[in-house]
Amino acid sequence: MKLLGGTISPYTRKVRVVLAEKKIDCDFEIVDVNPVDNPVNPHNPLGKVPTLVLDDGTALYDSRVIVEFLDSVSPISRLIPDDNRERVAVRRWEALADGVLDAGLLVRYESIRDKKEQSQAWSDKQLARMKRSMAQIEKELGERTWCRADRYSLADIALACCMGWLDFRKPGGVDWRSDYPAVARHYDKMMERPAIADTVPK
């Protein structure tokens, strides 16, 4: 199995953390997805990372599909609960964290366009989306150690990957550590796990 990804890509990080937590061996190839013709295209027409290429050549994408596949191939450290309501709750956390990232990436992509082509209104809309979502995350996390059901899960991994990327890129100058103390506490706790500490974007 080979994972095509990037060391800064937060969605790739989510997959790398799941691989590590579940002790699944997988080659990791760092690819540049910036060119129109990039090395991911032959495997994934979307040309995005992460893309997981299985031994029989089947390619899986996107990160949510990949982590579901990985969680089901090994019983070690189950990260997505079997119970329907719990599974949906964990995947909702993941959707929220990934959604913050989606908006953050749009802000970043906008900021590196030619100045004349940038739209402040567009960036502001994405930043407002991020802030609303972060406030919701902070409220739902509250005093809890883990996002869902007092148990470490994919929800915690998705949240940590999101925050790690925001820390690294700071789209729109967002400073979540001071604005969202519960999220900051959660991230510090997550950094105690080697799978998280070893994959910090740099």
Ligand X SMILES: N[C@@H](CCC(=O)N[C@@H](CS)C(=O)NCC(=O)O)C(=O)O
DSSP 3-state of 147? coil
What is the helix (H) or strand (E) element at residue 60, kind and residue range?
strand 59-60
Nearest to 125 by CA among 139, 106, 109, 111: 106
The minimum distance between CB 165 and ligand X, in angstroms, equals: 8
182 contacts: CB under 8 Å, gap ≥ 6 = 138, 141, 142, 143
Least distance in angstroms from the C-beta of 12 to ligand X: 7
Question: Per rule CB under 6 A, is residue 164 in the interface with ligand X?
Answer: no
In terms of CB distance, is 64 or 87 closer to ligand X?
Answer: 64
Which residues in 41-70 contact ligand X (CB under 6 A)? 47-50, 62-64
Q: Indicate the residue type of 116.
A: K
DSSP string computed for 33-56: --SSS-TTTTT-TT--S-EEE-TT
CA distance 65 to 54: 13
Min dist CB 117 to ligand X, Å, is: 17
72 and 64 Cβ atoms separated by less than 8 Å: no
Q: Which of residues 59-118 bind ligand X (CB under 6 A)?
A: 62-64, 98
Considering beta carbons, is residue 7 or 145 the nearer one to ligand X? Answer: 7
Closer residue to ligand X, CB minimum distance, 22 or 48:
48
SS3 146: coil
Contact between 11 and ligand X (CB under 6 A)?
yes
- The minimum distance between CB 98 and ligand X, in angstroms, equals 6
Instruction: Choose which of 3, 9, 16, 104 interacts with ligand X (CB under 6 A).
Output: 9
* Residue 79 beta carbon to ligand X: minimum distance, rounded to whole angstroms: 15
CA–CA gap between residue 187 and residue 198 (Å, rounded): 14
Q: For residue 153, state whether it binds ligand X (rule: CB under 6 A).
A: no
The footprint of ligand X on this chain (CB under 6 A) covers a number of residues equal to 11
Residues that bind ligand X (CB under 6 A): 9, 11, 33, 47-50, 62-64, 98
